[in-house]
């Protein structure tokens, strides 16, 4: 409560409902930038440590021959009031005498559904999430039944339920308290938590964790 009270006093316009809406926006924009391989957007949205991890994941998928990754939040769209939960908050102060010379870190838990798949340069599906129609894990290189290059691929933003998985992500968002209105919340960390049974059945970590798992699978081959 102390840290949230500091946010209310030091972050312009801060309220808990508005923060949840902003947190969901950061979550969606970060996943979309990672799918697009937009390093500029990722540099702005992530702390240096998280950006280094994201770059490693991008390099791994490029080396694996992934030419395009499609990602979207699948219906139903998460409700910030219900599906974004603040689970922890703290202040990281560089100077105890200057409360603006520090950072606020707020840990949020996001419950939603993801739709994502990767295609090679010929348009063939090489990896996807939700191969069993929801709740299933990521699957690896596709079989001969994969769509041909001429097949119509679901575009980013597709609501194809066959590619949707239930997700519970726990992210740490960070904001510089001395930045005024121009400061922004950035991803500072991702936590692992087996909390999927709390809301939507077999939830699991989301898009970034899926890419990390595919990186590990590629390295084992």
**Structure-token pair, residue 61:** 């998928």
The dihedral through the CA atoms of 81, 84, 85, 87 has a sign that is negative
Query: What's the pLDDT at 54?
Result: 92
Query: What's the pLDDT at 213?
Result: 62
| For residues 104-113, average pLDDT | 95
pLDDT-derived band at 214 (thresholds 50, 70, 90) equals low
Helices marked H in 37-167 — which ranges? 39-45, 48-63, 80-83
pLDDT-derived band at 212 (thresholds 50, 70, 90) equals low
165 near 130, Cβ under 8 Å?
A: yes
| For residues 149-158, average pLDDT | 31
Is pLDDT above 50 for 140? no
Sketch out the chain's domains with CATH numbers: 2-220 (3.10.450.240)
Query: What's the pLDDT at 104?
Result: 93
- Reported as a single tens digit per residue, the pLDDT across 12-67 is 889 999 999 999 999 999 999 999 999 999 999 999 999 999 999 899 888 888 89
> What pTM was computed for the model?
0.76
Closest residue by Cα to residue 116 from 77, 162, 171 = 162
The single residue listed with the structure tokens 């919340």 is 185
pLDDT-derived band at 205 (thresholds 50, 70, 90) equals low
CA distance between the termini of the chain:
48
163 near 137, Cβ under 8 Å?
A: no
The helix/strand/coil state of 29 is: helix
**Structure-token pair, residue 194:** 């087996």
């Amino acid at each position: 409560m102390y840290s949230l009270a500091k946010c209310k006093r030091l972050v312009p316009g801060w309220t808990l409902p508005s923060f949840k809406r902003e947190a969901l926006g950061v979550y969606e924009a970060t996943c979309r930038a990672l799918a697009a391989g937009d390093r500029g957007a990722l540099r702005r949205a992530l702390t240096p440590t998280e950006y280094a991890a994201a770059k490693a994941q991008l390099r791994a998928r490029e080396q694996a021959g992934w030419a395009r990754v499609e990602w979207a939040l699948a219906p139903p769209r998460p409700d910030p009031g219900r599906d974004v939960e603040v689970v922890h908050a703290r202040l990281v102060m560089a100077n105890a005498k200057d409360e603006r010379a520090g950072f606020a870190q707020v840990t949020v838990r996001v419950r939603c559904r993801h739709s994502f798949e990767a295609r090679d340069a010929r348009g063939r599906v090489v990896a996807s999430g939700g191969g069993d129609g929801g709740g299933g894990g990521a699957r690896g290189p596709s079989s001969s039944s994969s769509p041909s290059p001429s097949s119509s691929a679901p575009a980013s933003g597709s609501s194809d339920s066959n590619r949707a998985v239930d997700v519970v992500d726990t992210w740490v968002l960070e904001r510089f308290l001395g930045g005024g209105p121009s400061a922004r919340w950035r991803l500072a960390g991702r936590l692992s938590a087996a909390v999927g049974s709390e809301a939507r059945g077999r939830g699991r970590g989301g898009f970034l964790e899926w890419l990390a798992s595919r990186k590990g699978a590629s390295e084992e081959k």
